[in-house]
Amino acid sequence: MGMERSLVSTRLPQPCFYPSSSLLITMRRFYPRSPTKIVGFSDILLLIHQDIKLAAVVVVGLLILGGAECRYVVSKCSVFEYAAVSCRAHSFSVTDFGAVGDGKTLNTGAFREAVNHLSRYSQDGGALLYVPAGRWLTGSFNLTSHFTLFLHRDAVLLASQDINDWPLSKPLPSYGHGREAPGGRYMSFIFGTNLTDVVITGENGTIDGQGEIWWTKFHDKMLRHTRPHLIEIMHSNNIQISYLTLLNSPFWTLHPVYCSDVIIKGITILAPVNSPNTDGIDPDSCTNTRIEDCFIVSGDDCVAVKSGWDEYGIAYGMPTRHLIIRRLTCVSPTSAMIALGSEMSGGIEDVRAEDVTAVNTESGVRIKTAIGRGGYVRDVFVKGMKMHTMKWAFWMDGNYGSHPDGHYNLNARPRVGGINYQDVVGVNVTMVAQLDGIPGDPFTGICISNATIAMSADSKEAPWACSHVQGVTSGVTPRPCPMLPEKEVPCQFPTEKLPIDLVKFKKCSYKVRHA
């Protein structure tokens, strides 16, 4: 205790596009055809040219994100460097608290003790907890303010498969119930509430929720409480989650809720495409959120924007607004690349999605809501959307979803308007659009411009199906439905920057000392 030492890197210099060993294992497990070595961009371009199938897309996404941190790490040096919004004055290794990275020893106590110890530095420049290479089995643990959790590139956090290691928590106030059961929720694997200035980052280390046991119990109807998220941060501000691989979440993977000033960057999320409700990133009643450079393979929506459920969300009244999504790649055969709702009762506004790509995904940007939800979805802007092998390019559904109980208000009708799409390309699409508003309350202000959708050769569907919607189009192929007449006007996309776009990463460095 009290004795200091520097942590010396033993990693040899490597080209920036070598994936970590944990990523290679993951790639081979999900997609056996994945290569084990890609040296540079020329190899990546060759992969894209040779094979547009899912395996190539997965490899490219993983390797690009896996290499993102190479420029931040100085090899053969006692001082490590990384990029973060906030740097820390103190640093420790989880091994200083007795953790053992053998994949068998349960380290819940060590992680909890470490966070508790580091919390004493919150008013003294903050502290960083370093997780070295190894397989670190642990149950749920909480974070603290002015804190960084940093994972080595070959570090794997393994979530315990013993349900007793997952405490119960109350339902979210904007939901009233657990999302899957009337009771409470299992606490997320990594959790924080009422925090400020939290960073979860690394050299593309891995956090594995080992969710299969939860998926099985869900399918077998053996759970009385809602499954846990992999990471949930609530009632907090100034949050950064970056340069990590997140695997096999029991439920929604990344769930910031009631938060402000959130940056999610360079994250790879992987779950089997048939795993239930394994959403990628779910900003929920959050303000000023930036999601960029992420790659997601999921059993549900890759990004799902939320703000509460029926009467509980209406009463809580906290919208999601000022959301940026850029350079996202999504694979989700049964769900959306970006979903707005269905839990949107607190409102969703000012969503800006740019340079987003969906491959083998059910729909691009989807709006889903229902009578009883209330709330609104407005001022949504999508620019530069590319899609390959889709069921729908555009999908809006005014009759979607279940209700938490029978007390929802039939007069609580959602308002949907100001939905803008421009510069859209789709290939091998079964149906261009399914747009269904609410009778008596149509979805209005829909604008689609400069969109070319190539139908799949075997499609027998009409390109467009529209009801209870109003809007305009410009330069759209195939010809839209009569409710969206040609007006030869470009759709809007804001030019002013949001405050979260002005937040820049610093170059930080750290040492490790014994507690």
Residue-wise DSSP of 354-400: EEEEEEEESEEEEEE--TT---EEEEEEEEEEEEEEEEEEEEEESS-
461 by Cβ neighbours in 10 Å (0-12 / 13-18 / 19+) ranks as middle
- Interatomic CA distance for residues 143 and 67, integer angstroms: 27
Say what percent of the chain tops pLDDT 90: 81
HEC letters along 162-201: CHHHCCEECCCCCCCCCCCCCCCEECCCEEEECCEEEEEE
Contact residues for 501 (Cβ-Cβ < 8 A; gap 6+): 290, 324
Per-residue pLDDT of 421-462, as tens digits, reads: 999 999 999 999 999 999 999 999 999 999 999 999 999 889
| Assigned token pair, 37 | 């070595």
Distances (CA, A) of 64 to 41, 48, 68, 347, 405: 9, 13, 6, 34, 44
Nearest to 27, CA basis, from 266, 293, 276, 295: 295
Q: How far apart are CA 112 and CA 200, in angstroms?
A: 16
Question: Which H/E stretch holds residue 219?
Answer: helix 212-219
Residue 404 C-alpha from the chain's centroid: 24
Find all residues with CB under 8 Å of 198, minimum gap 6, and list them: 143, 144, 145, 146, 147, 148, 192, 233, 236, 238, 239, 240
- Each residue's pLDDT tens digit, 115-167: 999 999 999 999 999 999 999 999 999 999 999 999 999 999 999 999 999 99
pLDDT in tens, 8-44: 322 222 323 334 444 444 444 443 333 333 333 333 3
Inter-residue contact 199 to 85 (CB < 8 Å): yes
**With a threshold of 0.85, does the pTM exceed it?**
yes
| Rounded Cα gap, residues 363 and 332, in angstroms | 9
Residues 27/47, Cβ–Cβ less than 8 Å = no
Which amino acid is present at 112? R
Tens of pLDDT, residues 81-91: 999 999 999 99
**What positions carry a catalytic annotation?**
300
CA separation, residue 372 to residues 305, 342, 380 (Å): 18, 11, 22
- Give the model's pLDDT for residue 182: 86
d(C-alpha 320, C-alpha 306), whole Å: 7
Element (H, E) at 314: helix 310-316
Name the least confident of 52-56, 175-179, 201-205, 247-251: 52-56
Burial of 359 (0-12, 13-18, 19+ CB in 10 A): buried
Distance CA 342, CA 366 (A): 10
The DSSP output letter for 137 is E
